């Protein structure tokens, strides 16, 4: 029978510094684990995320407003309408929305892992990718506020909040999480696309100082119909924001998108 009690506690106290040292030494020898999936991260230039989880960030032809990815038609670029078929019927309150990559495959798994347990390490890696996306010029602006999409009452911890905070630190822009839900709403992913806009109407309120002409960057994890970020932008514009841009980690394909993949969230 195992001995338990004061003696075994004493032994653990004695050997734990050695165990910690041993783990550290092994860590130096083995490659770091990908914070999203736990596979060896290796070194491939971008971040500590493994090669599978790290999205390919690059130029893709997209709708100038909502960021929906479109077919590459270089010869017709001049005649292409500014807005795509998905967002043309909608009243958009934001100027531009962009996403790093489609919400599919390993990138989707990485984001789901982050949403389930928004940990500092992964937030840091994802913020680094967002910062790289901005620095590469895929979404440009001189924002004075970074604002996360608010979390729903009773839902913590919140991925968008942590991501926006890390990104604001990196870009040296004021983090200003002053949007709040003022009433309960049905989870967006349970509703058909057409109902999602109605579900969120007048659901948010602003707890900060008025935004006198300031440019704001709204951060969320996944863009699906854009209903959530559009409601955020509506509130910000009502508070005097000059322009509102949106950055999300991923984008679910719209009905007229070329990209195919599963969709959830907002």
| 37 vs 17: CA distance, rounded Å | 28
| 127 vs 133: CA distance, rounded Å | 10
Residue 215: CB partners within 8 Å, gap ≥ 6?
141, 142, 143, 144, 145, 241, 242, 243, 244, 245
CB closer to Zn ion out of 50 and 216: 50
CB closer to Zn ion out of 107 and 176: 107
| 166 vs 171: CA distance, rounded Å | 9
**Could you tell me the smallest distance in angstroms from the CB atom of residue 97 to Zn ion?**
8
Distance of CA 129 to the CA centre of its chain: 10
**Could you tell me the smallest distance in angstroms from the CB atom of residue 20 to Zn ion?**
25
**Could you tell me the smallest distance in angstroms from the CB atom of residue 48 to Zn ion?**
9
CA atoms in the 13 A half-sphere facing the CB of 221: 25
Reported for 110-115, long-range contacts at CB under 8 A and 24+ positions apart, including other chains, are 110/36, 110/37, 110/49, 110/53, 111/159, 111/221, 111/222, 111/249, 111/250, 113/36, 113/37, 114/36, 114/159, 114/163, 114/221, 114/249, 115/159, 115/221
CB closer to Zn ion out of 128 and 171: 128
Tell me if 182 sits within 8 A of 201, measured CB to CB: no
Query: Is 250 in a helix, a strand, or coil?
Result: strand
CB closer to Zn ion out of 37 and 112: 37
CB closer to Zn ion out of 230 and 239: 230
**Could you tell me the smallest distance in angstroms from the CB atom of residue 67 to Zn ion?**
7
CB closer to Zn ion out of 107 and 143: 107
**Could you tell me the smallest distance in angstroms from the CB atom of residue 197 to Zn ion?**
15
**Could you tell me the smallest distance in angstroms from the CB atom of residue 41 to Zn ion?**
7
Residues that bind Zn ion (CB under 5 A): 34, 36-37, 50, 53, 63, 65-66, 68, 83-84, 87
Residue 32: CB partners within 8 Å, gap ≥ 6?
40, 41, 48
**Could you tell me the smallest distance in angstroms from the CB atom of residue 34 to Zn ion?**
3
CB closer to Zn ion out of 94 and 206: 94
Tokens standing for residue 27 = 């860590």
């Amino acid at each position: 029978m195992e001995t338990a009690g004061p003696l075994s506690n004493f032994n653990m106290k004695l050997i734990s510094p050695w165990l910690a040292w041993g783990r550290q030494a092994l860590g130096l020898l083995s490659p770091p684990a990908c914070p999203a999936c736990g596979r060896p991260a290796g070194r491939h230039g971008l971040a500590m995320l493994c090669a599978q989880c790290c999205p390919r960030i690059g130029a893709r032809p997209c709708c100038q407003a909502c960021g929906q990815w479109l077919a590459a038609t270089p010869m017709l670029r001049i005649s292409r309408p500014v807005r795509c078929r998905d967002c043309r019927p909608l009243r958009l309150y934001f100027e531009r929305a962009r996403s790093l990559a489609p919400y599919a495959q390993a990138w989707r798994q990485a984001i789901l892992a982050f949403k389930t347990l928004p940990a500092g390490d992964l937030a840091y890696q994802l913020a680094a990718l967002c910062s790289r996306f901005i620095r590469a010029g895929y979404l440009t602006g001189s924002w004075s506020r970074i604002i996360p999409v608010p979390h729903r009452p009773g839902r913590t911890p919140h991925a968008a909040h942590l991501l926006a905070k890390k990104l604001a630190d990196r870009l040296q822009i004021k983090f200003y999480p002053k949007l709040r839900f003022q009433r309960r709403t049905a989870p967006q992913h349970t509703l058909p696309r057409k109902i999602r806009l109605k579900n969120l109407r007048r659901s948010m309120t602003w707890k900060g100082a008025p935004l006198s002409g300031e440019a704001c960057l709204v951060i969320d994890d996944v863009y699906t119909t854009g209903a959530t970020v559009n409601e955020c932008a509506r509130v910000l514009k009502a508070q005097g924001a000059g322009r509102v841009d949106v950055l999300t980690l991923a984008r679910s394909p719209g009905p007229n998108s070329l990209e195919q993949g599963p969709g959830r969230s907002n």
